[in-house]
Amino acid sequence: MSREKAAIVRIKEARTSWKSDLMMNWGVYILFLPVLAYFIIFNYLPMFGVVMAFQDFNAVRGFFGSTFVGFDNFIAFFSHPSFLQILRNTLVISLLGLFFGMPLSIIFAILLNEIHLRRFKKTVQTISYLPYFVSVVVMTGLIIEFVSSNGFITNILVNAFGIKRENLLLNASYFWGINLISDLWQGMGYGAIIYIAAITGVSQELHEAAGMDGAGRLRRTWHITLPAIRPTIVTMLILRLGMVMTVGFDKILLLYNPTIYSTADVISTHVMRMGLERAQYGYSAAVGLFNSVVGTILLIASNTISRKLSDTSVY
């Protein structure tokens, strides 16, 4: 059979299989329609707006009436006086959250798994989840109050380490630490959920056998638990690396001020100021497109490296 005929046969078989599956599971496909509509309306149709990145976009003229400027918006961003500073802040804030937040969630999940009192374990687990569901506005309000010149955290730092009494959010050197600690407080418990689920799937027979051979809890964790959840860790790491250019816009926007732009201004806040405050829509679209392209490249690269080194990948 020639290649053309074989391809035709495969296409016919695929059509038949799809039709039979549609008839058998039509209810599931109907339930899926709202999800499909959501992604088409809010994720795929807005992609047409990428054309603004190559235009001197004018809201009155629209997409088809605005002047095409090619890569001028990208050049303007790369030559912006604050480009390297904004890029550095974005990478540092994101990587700090990755390098500290992910290991902390894994350690917390392992420690939680070692608790055998079921009621106490559930209580600790529930309490650890609660900060994630606190409104960002409420959380930033607490942070602003705690790090004010007479705030609770400021008083502790002044008395314990003798730092200068001041509003910590007016000192650029403190912002990365404040943002990191608040991220860890809010996301540690919620981030541990998937690792807790992975740990529960580890065979207890392996732990019992290792215990009979004299292995302690630490050794069993290192040689049994961590290797068993390694695929989950690698998958989460790949996804996190793909979002390394994406930083929590809402919290930074509520916390930062012009005096700490040197460490607090990131790509997303820069886009907001240039787009909404200065109406440079084409420039903002170009910056957002650059951010998305870099994130996609990082995701593909990390996934490829992981597949070659550990046989674990997202796709």
The first and second tokens of residue 307, run together, are: 């597949």
Q: What percent of the chain has pLDDT over 90?
A: 8
Q: What is the pLDDT of residues 112-139, one digit of tens each?
A: 888 888 888 888 888 888 888 888 899 8
Q: Where are the domains of the chain?
A: 3-70, 75-310
Q: What is the pLDDT of residues 166-175, one digit of tens each?
A: 888 888 888 9
Give residue for tokens 């790509």: 267
Q: What is the pLDDT of residues 277-298, one digit of tens each?
A: 777 888 888 888 888 888 888 8
Strand locations in the chain (E): 55-56, 67-68
Fold of 75-310: MetI-like fold (1.10.3720)
Mean pLDDT across the chain, nearest whole number? Answer: 84
